[in-house]
Every structure is written in C-alpha cells, then in structure tokens.
Structure 1
Amino acid sequence: MADDQAQDQRRAPSPAVDRALTVLETLVSADEPLTLTSLAKQTKIPLATCAAIVYTLEERGYASRRIVGRSHFWRPTLRLYGLSAQLVRKIDLSEIAQPHLRRLADSLGMPAHVGVLNGRTVVYVAKAAPPGFIQFDTYPGKVAPFNLTALGRAIAAYLPDSELAPLLGQLAVGTGPKAPPPTTEAFREALLSVRDQGYALEDEEETAEIACVAAPFFDAQGAVAGSVGVTGFSREIAGDRLPAIIDAVRTQSRELSRQLGHMPVAAH
C-alpha cells in the first residue's frame, strides 16, 4: 500500500490524455460540427495530434464525421450518453453524501442533511447525526416547504427564473415566531442575499427555537443539484459559532459538488 501511494505521488498527469479529453469536451460543447482546422485552433493542439485524436475517437465510436468536398466536419456521438446513463444509474446521492454529512455532524455536533427540491417542497434524502439524547425531527424522506428551510432556499437561489417563478406563487406561511410574511418581493430579496453570501440561514421560521444553515451543491453541468445543511437550536447556531458553521457547511457542499463532477470557472 505504501508503494502504491508513493507511485501516486510521483506520477505526473498524462499530456496525451489531457489533449484527448480537451478535444472531446470541445466537440461536445460546440453548437455545430467542427472542421479539423477549427478544432485544432480552438483546443490549441497541433493539427497532426488533433487529427490522431479524432480518428481514434471515431474508431472507438465517440465521434463521427461528415465529408463535404475536401472538408471533414466532426461531431460527438451518443455513445457518451450511454456511458453517462450507466454512471447515473450507479450514483446514489445519499450514499455519496454520507461521508460529507458525517464530517459535518462530527465536527459541529449537529445533525447534517442533504435536501433536493421536489416541486414546492424540499425532500431530505440523507442524514448523519451525532450521538446524544436530543434528536431533531429530521429524517430521510421528510418533506418541508422549500421557502421555510435553509435547504430549500439554498437550492431556490440558484434556479433559473423559468423554474423559480412558478414556485413563488406557492410560498408557505411559517409557524415559527420569526416567520416573515410570504411575499414574492421579500423572498426574491432573500434569495439574492443567499447568492451573494453563498449560503442560506433559517432562524425560527418553520419551528420555534430551531435554526438551520445550508449551502448548495452543483452537478457536472453546473446546475444546482441540492443542498447540504445542519440543524440545531437557534441559540447554538447564532452568535460566535455562526462563521465556523457556515465555513464547515460550505466546505462540504463544495466537496460534494466536486465529487459530482462540478468544476466551477468562477466562485458561486
């Protein structure tokens, strides 16, 4: 095992693999088929090397070409879709999230959750809790109004407006002592704050004395896929502990995003 680890540390990235992936990603992201010259220019890969890569991709079924006169136009095939479909079937979000939730729960001494949006509700799909006599009423499968939870707000803040707008007419009224009136304008303002800060905070809006901090995570396409959060007593989350809680939650949300294939070009 030690020898394997030493080999991993010494092994440099493969330029050939990097170039091949760059060509494939460029073909996939292009709006129309590309000529070899255009592909080499966009990828900044020498023409001969680029040609060798696309011919190999064609042979393996990942690219196809259309010949018009003396020009060859290249595009990706649906074989990639077949690979991704197999991968999606094997991915269990609750299983992937468990190590991240366990680190949160152990480091903060609070239950940690992953939530996903389902219509106008947020669904708790995974949970990790520290040992103790006090257990919060949160469990995998629980549903809650999306606007009353930090989990739901962290997701809603990153939805495209075409998906968010239909939800704004279905805002639930909170029963907690600090629940604000559910107005569209106020909620949009709250979501702007979530995007600016990178996290959502809910304090005694759904339930008295209970607060929650959550941050979004993203999939390989850059779309918001869910959120990671912790729940605790309002007195525990507010005050001096809040910055450390926010930092821990955001760290695990970023790690989960990376595990799902998200590679941001700029900070969210």
Structure 2
Amino acid sequence: MSERHIQSVVRAADILELFLSSPELSIKEVSERMGLSKSTVHGIIKTLEFKGFLAQDQEDQKYKLGMKLFELGNSVSKNLDIASIARPIIQELVDKVKETVHLVILDRGEAIYVEKVEGSHSLSIYSQIGKRAPIHCTGVGKAILAFRPENEIDQLLSEATLTTFTDKTMTDKEQIIEHLRQVKKQGYAIDDEEIEIGLRCIAAPIFNHKGESVASISCAAPTTRFNDERLTDVVAHVKASAEVISRQMGYKPNLHL
C-alpha cells in the first residue's frame, strides 16, 4: 500500500462501500467479505458508528448506513452545479417524452448517476442516484467518452473492466473505439440492449465552458416503446435538452468546433 494511504482509513472506506450492495450487514458478514478478523472489523465499525457513519439495528444487531452519510451526500449534491442546472431541463424532457431520464457524470473511469426523474410509464431498471455504471456499454457512458481526447479514450478503456452483460455488449477495445467515432459523428449514443435485454437508452453529451464532455443525459425505455419510428423523435429531444444544459454550463459551440 502506498505510504500516502492510511490502511485503517482505506479499510473503513471499503467497509462503507459494502453497504452499497447490502443494506444491512453483521460484523461477521463484514469480516467474511473483507477477509479481516472480527476484532479488527469490530473496532472499525464501532468507530464509524460513533461518528454517525453507521447505525446499529437494536433488534437484529446488524448495521446500516447512518445519517451522517445522508448529510454529506446532501452537501455533495448541493455542490454539483450541473445537477441543479440540469434538473428543470430534465423535468421538461420527461414531460415531453414520458420516459425516465438520467443525468450522469464521469468519475474514476465509470459513469455515476447524479440525477434521475421517472417518467409516467413504469420502468424497472437498476439505476439509482449514486450508483455507478460501466462506460463501455451504457448510452450515458459512451456519450461522454466519445467526445474525450483519443488518448484519454484509449487509457480509460484500457483501465476499465470490459464486462459482458448481454450478447450485444461490445468488449473489444478497438471495436468500441470505432463505435465511439460514430457516436461522436452523430452527436448521440444508443445503448441497444447492451447492458440489459429489453432496455434501450438514448444519450447525449453535456459540455462545460471549456468544451469538455463532463456529463450526459439519457432517456431510457423498453425496446417495445422505443421502436425505430419513435427513436428519431426521442433523439431530437434528448440532444436538444443536452444542448440547453451545456449552454447554461457556459458552453459556446462556435468556440469549440
């Protein structure tokens, strides 16, 4: 471990991350998943509980995430200017297309959801605010990635785990890079059942005042509702909304051609 990293702090962070996939865990369960002794885990968990990052259920004695994280999360959300800028525009898009719309940013080589507005049609998908998603097979990930410098695209894909989710998932780096060139040319990306069978997403990039692709929005729906005829209409709405957000972020297209 690097001398710049304090082992106990890293372990505490790793323990907190376990609760992203399991809402409640016992000390024994954390010990088994972390490969650490119960005494070590007990000390870390009790410290996290003392600081409000974890809370213990008095009935089953298991632990869950505490209110301190909720407070910190709200603070982060308030500082995400892009979310506050995009929120009303996303709502307008949802009102037009009646489908679920997501806003994501790129963080450590993955897409992370920072805003989600449900449409009037029911849609059961795994996305939620704070959840991470791969960049190689999601519309939101590809929409951001395609407009990054080529050397950064190569690096991000080289460092990413190109997991196969469906038989439509692209996992060959060169194939993905070629696909991203087409995404850049057309100005939007489509996840056509690449991460979940039966789900199609249309995404467009959001640029900051420097002309950098820093986020994207997507509209997601079952393939039965996103037929080829409707696709053209939704693409136009998604691209238009992304352009409005970009302009409010200070992006000036004429300066970044």
Q: Would the TM-score normalized by the shorter structure come out above 0.5?
A: yes
Q: Does 1:154 align with 2:143?
A: yes
1:220/1:263 contact within 8 Å kept = yes
Percent identity of equivalent pairs: 28
- Identify the residue that residue 173 of structure 1 maps to in structure 2: 163
- Residue of 208, 216, 221 corresponding to 2:197: 208
SS of the residue aligned with 2:217? strand
Please give the root-mean-square deviation of Cα atoms over the aligned residues, in Å.
Answer: 1.9
* TM-aligned CA deviation for residue 130 of structure 1: 1.9
Query: Partner amino acid for 1:246?
Result: V
* TM-aligned CA deviation for residue 262 of structure 1: 0.5
C-alpha separation between the residues in 1 aligned to 2:111 and 2:80? 20
1:102/1:129 contact within 8 Å kept = no
Label 1:267 to 1:160 Cα distance change in 2 as closer, same or farther (>3 A). closer
Query: Partner amino acid for 1:123?
Result: I
- Identify the residue that residue 216 of structure 2 maps to in structure 1: 227
Which of 157-166 and 248-257 deviates more?
157-166
* TM-aligned CA deviation for residue 100 of structure 1: 1.4
- Identify the residue that residue 137 of structure 1 maps to in structure 2: 126
Label 1:136 to 1:106 Cα distance change in 2 as closer, same or farther (>3 A). farther
SS of the residue aligned with 1:236? coil
- Residue of 217, 223, 238 corresponding to 2:227: 238
- Residue of 95, 116, 120 corresponding to 2:84: 95
Label 1:241 to 1:165 Cα distance change in 2 as closer, same or farther (>3 A). same
Query: Partner amino acid for 1:175?
Result: F
- Residue of 96, 101, 114 corresponding to 2:103: 114
Structure with higher Rg: it is: 1
Q: Does 1:251 align with 2:240?
A: yes
Label 1:266 to 1:202 Cα distance change in 2 as closer, same or farther (>3 A). farther
SS of the residue aligned with 1:172? coil
Aligned positions, number: 179
Normalising by structure 2, report the TM-score.
0.65
Query: Partner amino acid for 1:208?
Result: I
C-alpha separation between the residues in 1 aligned to 2:203 and 2:136? 13
Where does structure 2 lack aligned partners over 5 or more consecutive residues?
Answer: 1-77
* TM-aligned CA deviation for residue 98 of structure 1: 0.8
1:117/1:123 contact within 8 Å kept = yes
* TM-aligned CA deviation for residue 96 of structure 1: 1.3
- Identify the residue that residue 45 of structure 2 maps to in structure 1: none
| CA deviations over 1:105-142 (Å, ceiling 9, x no partner) | 11111100111111221001111112354443322111
SS of the residue aligned with 2:182? helix
SS of the residue aligned with 2:196? coil
1:115/1:124 contact within 8 Å kept = yes
C-alpha separation between the residues in 2 aligned to 1:266 and 1:247? 23
C-alpha separation between the residues in 1 aligned to 2:135 and 2:184? 16
